[in-house]
Chain A
Amino acid sequence: MISEAICKLDSGNWVGSYGGPEWSPYAQAIADHYAVQVPWYLTIPTTLTGVALQRRTILSVPYQHDILIFGAHINIGTDAAGDNGQLVFLQVTDLESGVSWVTPNIINSAPATAFGGSRTEVTPILKLPEVYFLPKYTRLKFDWSQPTGANVTGGSITWCGVQLSQPRDGKAPEFVATPNGETIRVGSRMPWLSTVGLGRRTFTAGDLAFQMVAGGRYLQYTPPVDCAVEIHDIHCNFFTRAGVDMLPNNVMVKITDAGERGIWTPDLAPIPSTFGSMTQVYPGLPFTKPYLMKPGHRFQLSVQNNNAALAINDAMVTIRGVRLCEY
């Protein structure tokens, strides 16, 4: 939770794109419970076969050790197909709790570039806002889709983390304590991603499309959050489109919390100041301070495409954070 007195987060913090290699107190507290910690990687293929609108579901194999997942790398698509993962979508579901990482929006998944860094970036691994604890013998479900008509063949996502073995008392900890004295149930910190398509939505023969016309203005929302969420950063998939510069400086945004009267900014800000992209050092551009979204609240995005003659198609924004409630 956010400590008002010192204006800093005591949990669920620093691991995001902010803090370099530091572990969060939550991650450190879990890892301290184990005698052995070694690097761990898990590659999940898309199994896509180049068919537009194709969907694939992959289950990870149950693992015999507890895992902390820190981030991911993607190796997906090309400029011409799937736009290097920008138009390939992924939903991840924890099969133990049934909780999905991406909220049920119009597109209930997020561009692969919101999950992982790629070969096109300075940073090939994109960190999750907080580590995810994957208990042994449990599985994750990966739902790949291409709802906007991409046609990718192959590709994969590689999850990067730490394998934990030899727990002190023979089993994983149920709770850990953070420096502020708060007790957190292990596994309760789950990634929260919410993807919003920007612009006018159309749907033709199964093909979902969004378009921001030149000079257009659009108002979009995330769904209300069902528990407190600590928002860390924002990713978008449209600084380039099929390798072509979309002049993102001319696209402007105003972000507000639709549940707080006092949170308002007078300015439209160019999106490179608010959204990260796969073309940047920060695929998920951190907030200047993580924002605590209260239950029932939602983000409102006002977007203005001030490009004089450039429409932007299938522009997605993914807001990334971590859930702060138990399941």
Chain B
Amino acid sequence: MLVLEHLKQLIEACNPANRAEWERLWADIKPVKFGNTIDWTTAQEYVLASYQVPDEAAYNVVLRVECYTVATAIAATDYGMFEPPPPGTAFWRYVPFGTGATYNLTDTNAPVQRLLDADELLLFKGGYNANLIGNFAANPSADTREVRTLVYGYNVGALIADKIGRAEAEIPSQ
């Protein structure tokens, strides 16, 4: 249901003039869900989600990020419970295919709640891996805890990106 609503909102944001244009825009969107599961252990950077946006995509629009923590050790007192993302910071980063310099796309000091488990409107272009990075404090106990992330992304062409790109979300520093 959420994906269908995203599709509808994307098309409406493009302000199509008629039915034909509406259908043309519909055909230009491909939902892509991505996200990783990481074992949260020491204080470090974790790649919570990564998607290699195809060069010919040409853009991936991220509209929502969901993220939660869960203890998987059966002896843990919070075993199986949904918990919020770990404390720390989170940001998006471009990582080139193969070797090359990475560069960060959002405030690297942003607290996790701005990016994890949040609605979003960010555009990533083809030719890079779009990585969502969590820079977390250490797991407070020895129990194994997973951080699971789900990103609702949509591959779109330049037709749509040009119409909505101007409204791309900003995640500024404090």
B32 within 8 A of A: no
A181 within 8 A of B: no
User: Is the contact region of chain A dominated by helix, strand, or loop, or is it mixed?
Assistant: loop
Known contacts: A261-B163, A262-B162, A266-B125. The answer to whether A215 contacts B170 by CB under 8 A is no
Query: What bracket does the count of chain B residues touching chain A fall in?
Result: 20 to 34
B59 within 8 A of A: yes
A35 within 8 A of B: no
Complex Cα spacing A219 to B173, Å: 9
Cβ of B166 and Cβ of A267 under 8 Å apart? Answer: no
Query: Which residues in A have their C-beta under 8 angstroms from that of B99?
Result: none
B137 within 8 A of A: no
Residue on B nearest A260 in the bound complex, by CB: B166
User: Which of A217, A252, A264 is the one whose CB lies under 8 Å from B107?
Assistant: A217
B165 within 8 A of A: yes
A297 within 8 A of B: no
Cβ of A217 and Cβ of B106 under 8 Å apart? Answer: yes
User: Which of B59, B104, B123 is the one whose CB lies under 8 Å from A215?
Assistant: B104
User: Which of A217, A260, A266, A268 is the one whose CB lies under 8 Å from B173?
Assistant: A217
Cβ of A215 and Cβ of B174 under 8 Å apart? Answer: no
Q: Number of contacts between A and B (CB, 8 Å)?
A: 56
| Chain A interfacial residues counted at CB < 8 A | 24
Query: Which residues in A have their C-beta under 8 angstroms from that of B162?
Result: 262, 264
Query: Which residues in A have their C-beta under 8 angstroms from that of B106?
Result: 217, 304
Interface residues of A in 245-285 (CB under 8 A from B): 252, 256, 260-268
Cβ of A266 and Cβ of B108 under 8 Å apart? Answer: no
Query: Which residues in B have their C-beta under 8 angstroms from that of A264?
Result: 162, 165-166, 168
15 other contacts beyond A214-B108, A215-B109, with CB at 8 A cut-off? Answer: A212-B173, A213-B109, A213-B173, A215-B104, A215-B107, A215-B108, A216-B108, A216-B109, A216-B173, A217-B110, A262-B166, A265-B165, A304-B104, A304-B107, A306-B104
8 A-B residue pairs with CB within 8 Å: A199-B173, A217-B106, A217-B110, A218-B172, A218-B173, A256-B166, A266-B59, A268-B103
